[in-house]
Amino acid sequence: MIIYPDIELMDGKCVNVARGRHEEPFVFHVDPIKTALDFQEAGAEWLHVVDYDGVYEGGRHNAELICDIIKAVEIPVQVGGGIRTTASVEWWFEHGAARLVLGTAAVKDRNFVKAVCTHYPKQIVIAIDSRGGHVVVEGWQEETIYTPLEVAADFQESGAAAIIYTDIDRNEDLPESAFAGTTDLACSLSIPVISSGTVQSLDDIARLNNLPNIAGAVVGRALFRKTFSLEEAIAVASQKPTQAEFVRTL
């Protein structure tokens, strides 16, 4: 299982946006480029970088900084946030992004997203954010009628590289959410699933590593708060689960 260190950017700063409250971001006073290089040195295979200004406003707002990160590191970078047009997709690939993450557009303009998945096979990742069993878009501000499985299944044969699934209930510390949503979605799909919003401890990484069809985990807040190190996270994610461990997890 791959650990994707998550760098969330707003107004050029590394942030964490709790409960979708973009007007109250928690700012980490670190240099984004140095942070990216530190993640690379710690053994990261990928970086996950989100332009949060783009999430809420559309378009490119931290593009220069993200391009500097792409140039600074030698590992691939997947970029998300406000990418909703073919021109934007082309721009990011021309500027070095290895994969692009499409979320709101994947729900609101599925034909566009399927077209770019076909044109850029295995380079587009579909982001699905779920609260209370329904997909939400526009930075968690707008609830849709769709279930996560309905949206994910629609892209399963599209050429997308993976599904990033964010369990917002788990992310917002609702204990009853457990890993049920992530487990159900991953077990229902053949396309790889990357979990987001589920990791608060190394035990959470171990649990995800024991679930079927979980290809990775996006981890940000816990790394920035130094709950554990990236080296520790990668070590846990690299362990091979036994059949007995898999049964216990279920």
Pair 179, 157: CB distance under 8 Å: no
Which residues does 23 contact at the CB level (< 8 Å), separation at least 6? none
Given the residues 6, 129, 169, 204, the one annotated as active site: 129
The CA radius of gyration of the chain, in Å to the nearest whole number, is 17
Pair 191, 163: CB distance under 8 Å: yes
Q: Which amino acid is at 69?
A: I
Strands of the chain (E only): list them.
2-10, 13-16, 26-28, 47-51, 77-80, 99-102, 124-131, 134-137, 142-143, 162-167, 193-196, 214-219
Strand partners, 100: 79, 124
Which residues does 234 contact at the CB level (< 8 Å), separation at least 6? 3, 42, 43, 44
241: which DSSP letter? P
Catalytic annotation present for 109:
no
Catalytic annotation present for 150:
no
Given the residues 8, 51, 53, 169, the one annotated as active site: 8
Tokens found for residue 200: 């608060």
Task: Go through the chain and tell me how many residues it has.
Answer: 250
Q: Report d(CA 159, CA 106) in Å as an integer.
A: 13
CA separation, residue 184 to residues 101, 134, 180, 188 (Å): 22, 14, 6, 6
Pair 169, 134: CB distance under 8 Å: no
Residues annotated catalytic, as ranges: 8, 129
